[in-house]
Structure 1
Amino acid sequence: MTSPGARRVRRTIAFSLVMMLAATCGSTLPDQTRPEWASPGLIGGGGWPFAHRPMDATEAAGAAYLPDSSVVRLADGRVRLIQFGGQQPITVPADDPRVATAVRDDRGWLAAGRIPGGDTVYRDMAVRALLDLRLLTRPNGATTASWYRQWRYVWPRDAAFAAVAFLVSGHPAEARRVLRFLARTQTEPGLWAARYKLDGTPVTDGRRTQLDSLGWVLWAGWFLDVYAPAGEAVLPELWTMVRRAADHLESSLDVEGLPPPSSDYFERDPGKEQDPRRPTLGVVGPVLMGLRAAADLADRSGRQAEGRRWRQAAMRVSDAIARTFTPYGYPRSPVPGGLMDTSVTFLAPPFAPADPGVESAVLEAAERLRLPNGGVLPGERWSGNPDVAWTPEMALFALNAAASGRVEDTLTRLDWLDEHRTDLGALPEKVDRRGRPAAVAPLGWTASLVLLTLASLEDRLPVPPA
């Protein structure tokens, strides 16, 4: 593990953004193969399409990615890759010309954009996150949560974050592909299914619509307009998507100014919440942000009537939050003694303007959710394993800290994420009580959040105006 002195050096470098140290390579954790562990990372293919296959965990000992690539050098010196146009991995000598071709393609793609965090000690984590997002994104824009079983689907929420991560890393074409996929799968009323197959077919497993996804997709569409190069603004089909989603959110508000109860990123039946009659903060926060983003996007594109209407809807939601959530300290459900969770960050930078009361609630939630292994739980009284930390939630707190100017907090959380990657350097979904990666790796949502955090350390991300 990294010593306290070394961590202080890392923080100093990242804070000053001095590009002086060499990048670290992979995780410092020992190889711990467990029944639930599927793979420490993906082997990728240079070129189109971006095929990927998991690296067998038993072969990962002593293996490592060739720098800035998804090509793996095995412990015996041979190289595992997927050649251009192929689907299956092959193992070849290190001097095989196909190795250089695959590595050159990955490096060329990275060079075409930018690596958030530059050449700080977080560079290796950023490169791995970027290349993993590339591998998880299909030519039709379907970007999956991961590669394995129930993770091999597209969640609109996760896809929105991937699109924004592509934008901050200088890959607008990939962001557009993701957003076009979402535009194609949106229904006429402006909704999305909870998740989709790679061909855009909804997964019919009984999961209800997760209303927070509308807010996240609206945010990603707004981000494209704000962040993309001049002359490459939102395309017509994306405006239709934005209009449908924003109109649906506006029409869904009740007399109190709140959207209806819905599942959120917890993917839990809203009837099991502390207040089943009202939506959780995990729904209300993204809805507010989405309406603000849509209103600003409308104004920027000369559609003032829609902008005024959606801004008024956003004000109704904001007032409702002030009446129902603020008095109790922004818990997940607006009740006395309500349980805290990570969704309080959705009311704070970079998703909303800074507010001292919300910032205090974020810090309180982070403390309540902290685990002995240094990570965090998704929420209080978590129904899952109470000893296992979740990396997306840790990364959400890191992103908020970066966007709020709390640099030391940001770097502490980035250090933890960096130190708990797999043997091959992928960001896993979870970390067990002994500090070992668990569940699936890579996880696209965590990869996106880490890239956004590093980008925010360099230059504060734009915030949808209130």
Structure 2
Amino acid sequence: MAEDRVGAARDGGPRRVRRAVALLLVAGLAATCGARMPSGGGPGWDSPGLVGGGGWPFAGVPLDADEKEGAAYLPGSSVVRLGDGRVRLVPFGAEKAITVPADDPRVRQAVRSDSHWLARGTVPGRTPADREMAERALLDLRLLTRPNGASLASWYGAWRYAWPRDAAFAAAAFAVTGHMPEARRVLRFLERVQTDEGRWAARYHPDGSAVIDGRAPQLDALGWVVWASWLVHTHDPAGAGRLPELWPMVVRAADQLASSLDSTGLPPPSSDYFERSPDTEQDPDRPTLGVVGPVLAGLRAAADLARDRGDPARASHWRNASLRLSNAVARHFAPYGYPRSPIRGGRMDTSVTFVAPPFAPQDPGVSAAVLNAARRLTLSNGGVLPGEKWAGNRTVAWTPEMAMFALAAASSGRAQEARARLDWLARHRTSLGALPEKVDAKGRPAGVAPLGWTASLVLLTLTALERPLPVPPAT
């Protein structure tokens, strides 16, 4: 996520090519604060959602904003009935949308394909309204995931990239809903673009080539990808076993995470989901909780994977690293109430949820900090800001942050709070039901829709309300 917000096949270019790309990235300009994007609708990118057709390659095309009046998805599909009764869809094997009469046989074929795909997994939700939101989120995630496994943040140019952290959550959402082929495809993409050193670029083009724009590799991505790999494994051990490249990817990333810890037990400063330079933080010499939380979750997940694979040496190495980091969190962050930067009076932000369930075992101090952060970040429109003293528009709420608080609540036994946050997200979707990136002071979608990260978090939250999500063991 910006502050204002390859398929590089192994046989086509050895890993040394990817290493060169990473070195170029590191040698570039200092990390930026992310591209500054419009906070509301605008020509060429404002859309209520994506149109699809159910057929490979699951292509998605945005519906024009001026066509949204009276438009609605046909149930269980990404096929749109327009206000005049005609139907917009993407034909099988194509990537451009067409408009046809409602009785065109391609309409029935496309709806049936989408519905069959949904039925191959599960659609979480205890109420019809919940299931409708989950259905839309799943179908949108599928349209955002390219055939090579690149899971895009959204469809518009400045969002039409695969961020490893966002992709990790897409893989996790596919896994918990039983859509394992898609989960494995996303992980395969991430493995292909990983460097020998176990890192990822900040983001990738849909073809898998790294985006070289001055953003340095972001350490939190390693933790999120390892956590997602572990989650996929816990939900489908046999299927994950058919993914031989998964384990080497985890080894490279987890070794990088373990070796990154300094004498205090903390990793180095790095950009996190805010995507801004560490120099802008309250404590530029130490990592934010937005880095520490995913690194800790990744090390614990890697240790558990190693135990399951019968690799006691690696399990012990990564477990010891996680214990060092956990102790460092207790020393540097806990005394101040888990702020973003480990200082007295540190600002609170959403990253406090990264050390709460389902990423870490429940802890009373963390639970209190999550509630404190949510209270301090709540806006008059009912949504939340990403963090205190936010540099962007302070009247605009961000949906990934709201969904992250919902997931923490659902995973910590606060079902009523999770329910209320999900209801807010449901009320602030687009006219087609897509989850936008942001919501303005008047309650209107104020960013691209759909946003893949929010869709993933909503699916994880709805699942957590039905059954507990696994948590990487602390020991």
Tell me if both proteins adopt one fold, taking TM over 0.5 as the criterion.
yes
Structure 2 residue runs of 5 or longer lacking an equivalent are 1-39
Structure 1 residue runs of 5 or longer lacking an equivalent are 1-31
Deviation at 1:430, TM superposition (A): 0.0
Does residue 205 of the first structure (1) align with residue 213 of the second (2)?
yes
Q: Secondary structure at the match of 1:91?
A: strand
Deviation at 1:50, TM superposition (A): 1.1
CA deviation profile, 1:15-60 (whole Å, cap 9, x unmatched): xxxxxxxxxxxxxxxxx96559611100112211111110000001
1:224-235, aligned counterparts within 5 Å?
224-228=232-236, 230=238, 232-233=240-241, 235=243
Query: Does the CA contact (< 8 Å) of 2:240 and 2:246 recur in 1?
Result: no
Deviation at 1:415, TM superposition (A): 0.4
Deviation at 1:225, TM superposition (A): 1.2
Q: Secondary structure at the match of 1:122?
A: helix
For 1:409 and 1:465, the matched residues in 2 are separated by: 25
Aligned to 2:389: 381
Q: Secondary structure at the match of 2:267?
A: coil
CA deviation profile, 1:109-132 (whole Å, cap 9, x unmatched): 001111011553211110100000
Query: Does the CA contact (< 8 Å) of 1:388 and 1:433 recur in 2?
Result: yes
Which of 181, 190, 198 is the equivalent residue of 1:190?
198
Which of 337, 349, 363 is the equivalent residue of 1:341?
349
Query: Does the CA contact (< 8 Å) of 1:49 and 1:139 recur in 2?
Result: yes
Which of 406, 421, 425 is the equivalent residue of 1:398?
406
Identity among equivalent pairs (%): 70
Query: Does the CA contact (< 8 Å) of 1:37 and 1:438 recur in 2?
Result: no
Does residue 316 of the first structure (1) align with residue 324 of the second (2)?
yes
Q: Secondary structure at the match of 1:437?
A: coil
For 2:69 and 2:451, the matched residues in 1 are separated by: 21
1:63-212, aligned counterparts within 5 Å?
63-212=71-220
Deviation at 1:235, TM superposition (A): 2.4
* Cα distance change of structure 1 residues 157 and 363 upon mapping to structure 2, 3 Å threshold: same
Which of 291, 300, 315 is the equivalent residue of 1:283?
291
For 1:392 and 1:291, the matched residues in 2 are separated by: 24
Does residue 351 of the first structure (1) align with residue 362 of the second (2)?
no
For 2:411 and 2:99, the matched residues in 1 are separated by: 43
Which of 249, 273, 277 is the equivalent residue of 2:281?
273
Q: How many residues align?
A: 435
Which of 47, 57, 80 is the equivalent residue of 2:65?
57
1:239-278, aligned counterparts within 5 Å?
239-278=247-286
Which of 446, 450, 459 is the equivalent residue of 2:467?
459
Query: Does the CA contact (< 8 Å) of 2:54 and 2:110 recur in 1?
Result: yes
* Cα distance change of structure 1 residues 118 and 86 upon mapping to structure 2, 3 Å threshold: farther
Which of 226, 230, 245 is the equivalent residue of 1:222?
230
Aligned to 2:308: 300
Aligned to 1:441: 449
CA RMSD of aligned residues (A): 1.2
Aligned partner of 1:300: which letter? D
CA deviation profile, 1:357-395 (whole Å, cap 9, x unmatched): 000000000000000000000000000000000000000
CA deviation profile, 1:262-321 (whole Å, cap 9, x unmatched): 000000100000000000000001001100000000000001100000000000000111
Q: Secondary structure at the match of 2:128?
A: coil
